[in-house]
Chain A
Amino acid sequence: MKKTKSTLAYSVKMVSTAFLITSLLAACSPGGKENTAESESPNSPETKKQISIMVPNFAAETPADNNAVLQKLEELTDTDVEFQWVPSSSYDDKFNITLASGKLPSLMVVLGKSPSFINAARSGAFWELGPYLKDYKNLSGANEIILNNASIDGKTYGIYRARALGRNGVTIRKDWLDNLKLKAPTTIEEFYNVMKAFTEDDPDGNGKKDTYGLIASQFNGPWDIMQVWFGAPNGWGEENGKLIPAHQTPQYLEALKFFRKLYSEGLINKDFAVMDPTKMSDLMVNGNGGVMVDVADNAQRIESKILEKDPNHTDAVDVLQAMVGPEGHRDLPTSGYAGMIAISKSAVKTEEELKQVLTFLDRLNDEELQMLMSYGLEGTHYEKKDDYIVPTTDKLKMRDLNGTNQILMFIPETLGLTVEQTEIRKKVAEVQKANESIVIPNPGEPLISDVYAQKGPQLDNIINDARTKFIVGQIDEKGLQDAFALWEKNGGKEYVEEMNKLYTELQK
């Protein structure tokens, strides 16, 4: 008995130790041989250039690897392009981890100047492109202002993806204006009157007082846009060569008082502070509110939604430029770019390779490639008609184009045909073009502040919370000043000092 027990105990020990060791080993050893990275082994027999590119995908599905559009792209650029699609909702995580891993694809779409990108760029993970751009047909036409906006310490680490600089506008229910026999507002005062009428004079003619003027939401954009009308600077104002943050200007307070008045008179939706921003356009489509201050191209989306509901309801929306305020006609611009495309040094090792990659990027700005990556292939994804194109309504075919336009830079400009220009689209284009002469640039935009990198979100939150509370009447002017003081105390002071230091350095 005793003997049996000890051998049993012994074998229990042996077997369990063996199990443990195998399980520990299994957890630490590479599983399977099939996962040696395929991307590294050159698939093509000839010396075709290879470019891997990490792209955010804003659709639910990624295009198939060998679909017709991507094949055509490879054919036209004579390049083997390997796309690494990343769902846009998680792009930042994937981006950071790819940077940290040190093994980057040749090209990366950078969505913004995030701290991790700035660090990577400063520590030399990406090529500095400034000196090279002039050698390329399209890239040499890059806009200096936008290049400056997109730069880090004045150096270009990525080729910006151009967007309309003067993109913001006022979308308004034109049918309501017509019902009330009002004309489109042009000044802040007229704007106020229209909103008052939209709220109180039953613009939809249903006999009920169920409408309001301005549609707002949690999203800060509309307030930022409107305060510029009142003369508040875009982010940073300049006074005697010194930068001051927007909220420290008297014009900012003026604007806030106006918003507060709108709110207290019920001209804004009461629940804006908790409303999901994506619902904004639905409120306009459903006839709850009449005015939206946001990107101008919202107008065409809202119109198409209204037409979807009621095909006869044409001419329902209009889009206007910024209202003229006490300091003249001013509008908040966008940065003029939506992220950039950076070239990594770990995948693109030599200057010679860099030039090949730049040639590829330059080529992407040709009309042919812009059309291909935006609209696909003629006959499959769109048909040509007179001077515009008609995209197919077949959602399945359009899948080939999910995200392909994300690698376009539109430098020096958008070329080629577009979809048919409806009245509202033409108007949007007019407004955005006209805006370019009245936009107020942000002198602080190219400056990279360390304080902001660390405390930016908290600092912004203090100001945005205080603004919302002031508008809805939870705090008075005293409370607003307290919040500004809190901002200074929580790092705002160092932020301003640092920005000014950087600003004087940049001026030299």
Chain B
Amino acid sequence: MNKRFNTPGGRVFDAFNYVFLGLFGLVTVLPFLYIIGNSFATEAEITARSFFLIPKEFSMSAYQYIFSSSTIFRSIGNSIFITVAGTFVNLLFTLTMAYPLSRKDFWGRNVVMNLVIFSMLFGGGMIPTYLVIRGLGLLDSYWALILPGAIGAFNLIVVKNFFQELPAGLEEAARIDGCTDIGVLWRIVLPLSKPVIATFALFYAVGHWNNFFSALLYLTDSAKWPLQIMLRQIVLLSQGTVGDMANLDQNFVQPPEQAIKMAVIVVGTIPILIVYPFLQKHFAKGVLLGSIKG
């Protein structure tokens, strides 16, 4: 392996790779380090220095402020609940709908597929959707965030195609051994689909985690808001134009301090960072290989 790159050209190639990838890594990591560094700085220092990674004076006041009330814990809790429950519902419905649709002997599957594709091409828009949610009595309930998007049409099609790729012989073998339909899905198809399940679990979970808009529209009770609403508000507040300031009252409405803004971003990112490594290992391919013998 080393031999191959021992030519001068190979070394240049190597060096280029290291430099390029190193720079690329830096570009992705630097903003985050900047945010972490700023979150520990004092307000005076942030105003005075334009860019720094390590504050001269270390201050925990931003974190003290954030964690002094239950708001941030509550909103993290809400976010986690919505993400977990939402992803579970997503997977349940997507997998159980994709499987029958992938069976050629399933009666009426073309009609259903066309309905699914129709829903991809035509959406009602914000206000009609809101009226539907209101009509169903889902306002101010977490179901409003979970049920309307329970099945992502695109994801459904990908999962369906994945199921279709599974060798038919496998299923037949299971049937001969006396497996029921549910059994086939549960004991044969799903275990073989771990990579696709992990991938879509992550897609759905990140979608729920990042979603603030439907929470904003459908939940009036601020105690139910997920973290993202708070995060977005904090970040956008400090971007408000001076013109917006003109609308505010003169004495006491001020954008939150920079350090607090940074600290909230840090706190908001940590949970999803913790989850990532655990899901990543499932992305390895090759689970399917070797499942049929002979």
The contact of A58 among B100, B217, B248, by CB within 8 Å, is B248
Report the bound CA distance from A37 to B133 in whole Å. 13
Contact call B175/A4, Cβ cutoff below 8 A? yes
The residue among A16, A85, A217 with the most chain B CB atoms within 10 A of its own CB is: A16
Please state if A309 and B44 are interface contacts (CB–CB under 8 Å).
yes
Minimum CB distance partner of B65 in chain A: A395
Cα–Cα distance between A46 and B15 once the two chains are bound (Å): 79
Q: Mark B64-107, 1 if CB is under 8 A from A, else 0.
A: 01001101000000000000000000000100110110010111
Please determine whether B48 and A419 come into contact, CB atoms closer than 8 angstroms.
no
* A13 touching B106 in the complex, CB below 8 Å, given contacts A59-B256, A221-B242, A221-B246: yes
Give the docked Cα–Cα distance between A86 and B236 (Å): 14
- Give bound CA distance, A305 to B93, whole Å: 55
Min C-beta distance of A476 to chain B, whole Å: 29
Query: Is B255 a contact partner of A20 (Cβ separation < 8 A)?
Result: no
Which residues from B are CB-within-8-Å of A396?
65, 68-69
| Cβ-neighbour of A13 out of B105, B148, B243 (below 8 A) | B105
Interface residues on B, range: 35 or more
Complex CA distance for A285 and B241, rounded to whole angstroms: 17
Q: Is the CB of B242 within 8 A of A277?
A: yes
Could you say which of B6-14, B136-144, B192-200 contacts chain A? Answer: B136-144
B-binding segment of A90-98, A239-247, A357-365: A90-98
A26 to B146 Cα, complex, angstroms:
11
A77: Cβ under 8 A from any B Cβ: no
A312 at the interface (CB under 8 A from B): no
Cβ–Cβ < 8 Å partners of A309 in chain B: 44, 47-48
**CB interface residues, A 6-29, toward B, < 8 Å:** 8-9, 11-13, 15-17, 19-20, 23, 26-29
Task: Decide yes or no whether A78 CB sits under 8 A from chain B.
Answer: no
Q: How far is the CB of A288 from chain B (nearest CB, A)?
A: 10
Could you say which residues of chain B place their CB within 8 Å of the CB of A9? Answer: 105
Q: What is the minimal beta-carbon distance from A246 to any residue of chain B, in angstroms?
A: 17
B233 to chain A: which residues have CB within 8 Å? 57, 59-60, 87-90
B47 touches A101 (CB 8 A): no
Q: Give bound CA distance, A217 to B241, whole Å.
A: 10
Q: Is the CB of A8 within 8 A of B181?
A: yes
Please indicate the chain B residues that have their CB under 8 angstroms from the CB of A305 in the complex: 47
User: Which 9 A/B pairs are nearest by Cβ-Cβ distance?
Assistant: A16-B100, A31-B143, A35-B141, A89-B236, A87-B233, A62-B222, A30-B137, A60-B234, A277-B241
- 5 A–B contacts, CB within 8 A, in A order: A4-B175, A32-B143, A59-B237, A60-B260, A100-B131
Binding site for A on B (CB under 8 A): 43-44, 47-48, 65, 68-69, 71, 93, 96-97, 99-100, 103, 105-108, 112, 126-127, 130-131, 134, 136-141, 143, 146-148, 150-151, 175, 180-182, 213, 216-217, 220, 222-223, 229-230, 232-234, 236-243, 245-256, 260, 264
